[in-house]
A and B are shown apart, each in its own frame.
Chain A
């Protein structure tokens, strides 16, 4: 119904002049659009069932991009097309080479689905023409549109960055539709504004441009982190300007640092359009990931339903709270409560966040032998000790080892100055105010000699006989991306995140020599690192989205539980098939210190053991495949067993109100329901009464 024309009011005829005023602008827009969308003679066009992409023959600029499957005209105004931007800093200042100032020497179809574009002797802003050649190969293959670029730098200057591909007028799927970014970080899917802060490949190999039920998946097609890639959005121009109209630019910045007289092939950028929400975008990543992700070996105990405790026993403030020999009572308590492992923190010399990267024992807690023996005693009870120890990322600058040796392997900036990280605060008002913290130098993982030192330290962990190691802060190197330190075994700058994979690999190899079942865990390692560090430990909030679980239904993901009756967190853990990490007093107590949390957690794990095929061994689908409605705050997730049977975990998030929830699935079979507190199966039609702060699981028979 046309709400603008009420039926009970007689229509008046539109005056001729008014009608003209209305028609003319519309016609102009339509003509502009038609002429823009029509294939231009001066373009080279690639086309298949999924994409149309066109390049200006003279400039090589991308002048048209359309996703045919989603009917999204991503780039539609040829005059706003851009080819690339390259930076060749001179005298410490940016010196850009804008695509608009270049002339393409070649824009040709290699095939109906592939084009080659080349620019030579590039003109810079400040240093004239330089002998640099940029060659792009654009390929259509199914729904994937890829942009590969090679830089031949025959000049005497370093190329720092290349912005390519470059969309000079990035449109939303429909006029005015909102768009935002999505990317992986810290086991979460993080939403960002457009324009807003850049998305960085050090956190996520893909960036989703998400709009209402349609999106664009943009991938750095190289899982080895050869350099930093930024996904960038910039708002340009002015609303009333014809020459410089208001528009949104989107481009990827390759921080490639191409040395003089070298040729570098950059990581291809792959675009795939999709219909749906972030799940559909992440499905694109899952498909690609399956082609390169090397499944890690996992011992059987971590594959089963299991729970952990995290326990800290000392800090840099030398509290020496739990002597090594006193650890046995913690181990016994874990054994008594079906807790499979203790993540032990602060056992190392100078306690948690002190003494990095050393993996030596702390004399204030006891002797090496005492520690070695108590580890063996606890593990004999069936409780694995996983040592959270010195972190290779840092060197504690208060330590003589740093002063005498480790400084040689630290990252430095372009002026030769050391980067620093501020350290962390523990217990005393002095440290909690940020005074007297152990500041750390940032270590260069690109340096093979330093990686040897780090691996040697790790061997000390192996010698203690523990069953695992947890690498805290594996996820970052403070604010340092590149090091310019000389004599580190490569020509600087070195991309520090690029050293992560080699070091993880070396550590895994060292562990395998001693114990192939030795587990390696990390604090929310980036997805590609999970090939070597497959256990991810992290903290979540109620708005966290379980992207890592959606990508891999079975990889061990562990989540901290700290509240004294933390049903909300435990229900999320049940929903997302996370491992429970019990942490009373922020991981400084006994698990029986918070009996309400422990009791509910044990009920959840008991339920997961009883219905393992549904809640542990099944495929995690997040919210897909079922809908849940309720008369209160409710959340749900869906699991699908290998035989296709579905389970829906429903959580009442009301604090004090029971709810009635209705679970709907297409073509449901016979349904049963069980809860952590009433685990025996009961038949259900999908309508559930769930108490406040509680969960129920509906399972298809």
Chain B
């Protein structure tokens, strides 16, 4: 009964999404306030029914209702309860349901926080989001119904993929989806602005908190995915340039570019067309990511479905959304006049270069991800593009970007002088060069150039970010009142930017240390045997069998000592899950802020010996600390007072609000 209620709720949600799209669009077109007013209640109703549908599926999982096909395929009565709940999004159908739920949740958030928007604009935004909802709910109902029954019902389910039975999975997909789908909000804002013909500073200011919020989730989602791969795959790697990872990374890069170009559009009314295009691209790449992952074009842990009908549906939907919005852009954008001219040395220029670097990086990742698929589809041979390609392209693009982090915030809008910038940054530059040169001399490493560049850039980014904040503080308090006053006066967005940039610095240092000083060793270990790695002594104490709730495991014991003092005992496991009988590696990890000791069991060899992987990974936690700082920075920026202040402002006609430093030219229609 409950699954039928879920299916019914999906149907109702579809109907409400149709109303949410068609009526407000028509209302906005013919300036009918009653029709436009339909947008908000319809969107809220759709959200309610999506929650009901999702709750029904969750209930089916909790109550082990294996008469539901999707539950039978992805769960098992022996599966622990938290994983049964996470299994809701452990397969194709459920993760789509989560996608659609998250979309309606973002729409709901828009209905709550859009009181200050002009009603016509708001109606269009909600309608565009409704259109995307229609696509996804239709997709579910026609090709991937999560509530489909299975008759006769099996006695037990086929269990969740063991790889996905990890705390990382419980949080990773919802976070990632919040980010992916969150990009639909700036997309809807952009489309609504194009439809209405008002692309101005106000539009940019309304978009900014939404982009940043989605970006925060995307950042955390990607970070969680990387953390999960590090823990669960047992290779000690944290990023594989796997197509699925790339699919989430491309919207992140474009989203990052969008955050920066929105700043220019809001403050200086420049880059308008470019910003709109970025908003469209960011969401298109999110959709493309969904297509790549869900259509079965890419085969990986994440690809559940290989049903061609599904791929075709998403491809058509993708073409419709991307093609339609690009057409609209091509039609409307030439009429938009960009204001705010600027000099070659100015903050605008640094942000422009930032955008070019980020978009180029995204484009080259797109090339490496899609080209093999195209070749294969055209029957021109099977190729794969290795991780070295991505590293070779990505790193050189990010080096100047990291350098610009130091320069951009200090440069003035419109016109800046190189001499002045050099003067202000001279000590940072000296410190960065000193750090980059001395460190490779003290610590022996493999790749000296890499270390020098990495550490130099990390130092540069970190110090210049803090210095920029200090400069801000000084400007707030020219007559030296107490520093506490200045600390309060500086807008939270500035703290946010500083923190996020600091996060980049932390990440760069982490990548540099991990890749330059990390050591790994694969070897055969007999019980009692020991090995040296990174100054630590690893002794294999033997392995014993262990019964888990839904698996049996062999658990190894490896004692780690340093200078005859015990550091820790690691317990790597080799698990075999009972239902799917896949062997799984659970790494034994000891983490501190400055190094991880990581041990994974390979395969059993004769005489009680095991093939063992040992890793010493310095600063690896910084790889996740960096993104956490970036996300925190994003949270601070979203909570900035000015966004709340505008939310309280009375609604004004579109295009009349301007808080830029100079009057913003209105767009022509």
**A, B in one complex:** no
